[in-house]
Structure 1
């Protein structure tokens, strides 16, 4: 049931009209489509293993304090009797369908995650009716065509629209016109403001500033004297609902990465090698889908005692080949002493992460070297051959699924063979 708060208020035409749509418990509700018997129960979506974290939780489980990114072990303690549902492969499909519905309204759509987006309705209201009517039509389509609930906030800025959608959950709609922005913000805790983290919130509260209304009583110069020029100006603007950020329809990713947490801490070369190769293939495929290539990688290494390090991994030439990235990463891990020459880890590893940085358009090409002959020296010619093989693998995956073809290195033989 949609709840319209201030829904009849008219947003003035001289202000932007920004809608924020957020799917309600998206991962949970997608899973309920195939398991309707679990509706109304305490549900946690996560891989059921000791090292897993919560991907999402039903509102029934959230009442016990369960939240996303929480260790699953802790979530089970907080919410005994919850049903653990393994994540499926359907989220991206439903995300695409939701975004297609929004783009039927206007092409001014900025997708910010798999389950939320900003939509600039400024032009759409001229032909499609009031902002509330447009938003409700989108929500009705999502509910009827996909059987999924969503919440919407509408205002004159991204910040207030996002706050309004959060306030309308679950399954609601809230319009905050410009004339009522301050009224909307004043009673909120300062910690709710965008950009106010735990440390800033603690400092504000130590100064006796607990609500947004209290924050608006302080001059810009005073805030800057306490928090610095940039942070002080940000607090001053957010407390007044000032957010000039436009809806950006295309956002170029500056980096792409993937991480793997081992189910148990590992030192063996085969497990580490497979994990690194799998990560490199994932990152490389993302690069190819986006028609990008990378000039350098960054590595994230977490040991069994939770010490976490980040290190650079240079590449001999730009690439979008997972095989070339894998060879470079393994060589760098050995040179840094994280692996010995046999590929074993002197210190047990808990997590590995690989991120491609300094991205560029793959159309920029690669200048071929004439003298290098070793693959471990990131020879561009070898990289081109591997890239062609991986592009072929992409086409096979697109037709038969990602498990249809794997490099032999990633095939684990049965125990004893």
Structure 2
């Protein structure tokens, strides 16, 4: 029951992990790619990105490559699992209640493909703000860009028990089929104004030209910045606390470039017939400096090599927010805070970028200069910084390093390499933030 499925494991006893439950979704037979947990009104939910979209049927409301939303019916809820007994929660712990899917009519075509997503309860503190205490999913949908869905009113065992029972049973009866699994989170915003490198006035993408392996448009990862921030000291036209989103592409191969990272201001909104719609706009971008001199993979005319697939592409990233004061001096533009992005870049290693510098320089035509000024540090965490492959009698290590994830936490950055394992790195200006809770990373 655990093949191509969501699997729930109890790791309370680290020496004895116990399988509790699993969920196979008939609507997404290729299985999940990415999973995110988030609590909504004291109940845990999981959000599961399902990348397969070619076999969907829009006519019956099928979630084409959508996000499965499931409640975790844990201890303290209606479920009772037997401690230490494998499978004691099978069939009644992971409860699918609905989906989020892209609003296809608002896309411009191209390669539309859910990859990763994150979830955040609105970080603003104004109770009069219509977004106050509402929860949003932020989906990376490749050439459909960044997509925002409102999951606040998801069927809930306490807030809406009738809906929870109705939609939960509907999903369970056909193992997640859209015929009976009916609840959908509404889409409330999107962004797909990718970089325009060819200067034709259109964002570069498969449907508008200059696709270039997705350098601008294959939005692979996105996450909201962990705190509302005042950026008026660098952008006087943007007053008040702002809500930022970061987004990174994943590049298969290029004839030039390595792949873009974007900063998006998601603060503004409009009300249409009583419904809130976000109006996100680009405020800064970044790419590895001198990337305009490089290419890789099968599209690279200078040295065509299909084995270099993804070679220098960005992948996942993490945001770190730092309050600055006399003991923890500001390292950027002032304003009482610093922000940094910790970007895993496959064989290009870890790159750390300053958020304020990205915003201050915007998306200038002289991108190399602005991207260089935004760069804080980088590291290749293997083999004296040269990244040479390791020898092995048993494994093909391929490219070393090949970093797919970077996570900042309390002064340290944790780097996961596909081919060689886990590394822990530390940036010198992160050292003052080693105590627990001194910086925000989630």
RCO higher in 1 or 2 (8 Å CA, sep ≥ 6)? Answer: 1
Name the structure where strand makes up a greater proportion of residues: 2
TM-score of the aligned structures, taking structure 2 as reference length: 0.25
**Which of the two has higher C-alpha Rg?**
1
